[in-house]
Amino acid sequence: MTYLLGFTFILLALGSCRGLQENDVAEEPELVFQASKYGSLWPLPQKVEISEASFKLSSSSFRITDAKESGAGSSCSLLQLAYRRYYEYIFGDVKKQKVNKSWKAGLTDLLELQVWITSSDSECDSYPTASSDESYELLVDQPVAVLKAPKVWGALHGLETFSQLVYEDEYGAKTINATVISDFPRFAHRGVLLDTSRHFLSIKVILANLETMAMNKFNVFHWHIVDDPSFPYLSRTFPQLSQKGAYHPYTHVYTPADVKMVIEFARLRGIRVVPEFDTPGHTQSWGKGQLDLLTPCYTGSKPSGTFGPVNPILNSTYDFMTQFFKEISDVFPDAYVHLGGDEVDFTCWKSNPDIQKFMEQQGFGQDYRKLESFYIQKLLDIVAATNKGYMIWQEVFDNGVKLKPETVVNVWIGSGTNTEMSNVTAAGYTTILSAPWYLDYISYGQDWQKYYKVEPLNFNAETRHTNPRLERKPGEIPD
């Protein structure tokens, strides 16, 4: 599976995706462009009422504060940092601005945005989850605007919406219209996938992507951190993996401190970090630092000197995976880890005499999908023992591997997507749809429109679940 950057939808059954086929979106008449009555709101909230009455905001007087009734106060660093961040989004770097000490508030000035967390448990010190409450209500009136949300995650989205409502009038004064908004996400999983194996990305670039995701209310960073080309994750348990598998053992790796920084930066913006460690295929970089992990390929009766997927017949393979995923479960706090399982090339397995003998002993015949399922099942048991849930690419489901009911199936193959979605959701699995949103496909002209014409629920309604979620890759997109 080729990745670059992406978006994704989770339906109680949606995920990561391949490119959109040419005939997936019908040709439509040329669009007529006109100014939106909702201004710069993005994505559009569920309910919006904007009046013509307007108020002015001044950096000298406007403040973002905690409401007296709020379940989160000054001790909630997540919100306090967000207040400062959004104040600067609205007014710029106030330190560089001259303060007008003689300024006095006018009758049409908005002086304050009060943030009211309505629940006694604000989840301020927690990590966002797949079931986090991200709803909020925003009332902009003079002299005080009020943002109400059950949890801090909704408050973060409300702050983003408030900042988008602010504009400059013809004199350059910060202005906002009287507004009433009630909002919640259509999809609980709205993700972006970044591939840092094929293209190493600096921490600075990753953080910039997270900042931009928050501005668009994405809430899942699907970190496709390793793959065939390189292994930039610096493992404490197996440091030789990145020492020998990364593009460079010092400059092109993610240290434990780097990973911790990314996770916390994301948390402060309401974003989950879901790592992907794809096996048994896509593992060439793993084999450089872990001897005997990959299957030796044969030409006739002799080893060819090349290696294929993870060797599924050795006990040492599962000993390694047990230790490795124990570390991953400790490093990444999210409830899920993505285990891949896609695009396994059976050629090398078929050439190996030891694999052939094992196949015969297990009664698999010549069906190497059964061997793949044998490996995947053992891996799923290993990960389940760490109390983590798992996401997998659709091939694992298609091959009949026994899955836990809470498994998330990632649909990425462009052809037959609707049928696949129907099958996966009918089986009761939560699904992430990624297939229509691979952003690494380069086209001429304006190709962005097709990404927004996709309706992720456009499959057999009789088997569809009603609690949808979303994710996108660079290759995935938001709602």
CB 337 within 8 A of CB 274: yes
d(CA 32, CA 295): 57
Collapsed DSSP state (helix, strand, coil) of residue 359: helix
Query: By C-alpha distance, which of 467, 476, 466 is closest to 438?
Result: 476
Collapsed DSSP state (helix, strand, coil) of residue 200: coil
- Amino acid identity at 4: L
d(CA 441, CA 106): 52
Is 276 part of the annotated catalytic residue set? no
Collapsed DSSP state (helix, strand, coil) of residue 160: helix
Which residue of the set 343, 395, 420, 455 is catalytic? Answer: 343
d(CA 391, CA 277): 10
Two tokens, residue 189: 């999983």
What DSSP assignment string belongs to 240-258?
Answer: HHHHHHSSSTTTS-B-HHH
d(CA 392, CA 230): 21
CA pseudo-torsion sign 51, 53, 57, 62: negative
* Contacts (Cβ under 8 Å, ≥6 apart) of 347: 297, 308
Two tokens, residue 145: 């605007």
Residues with active-site annotation: 343
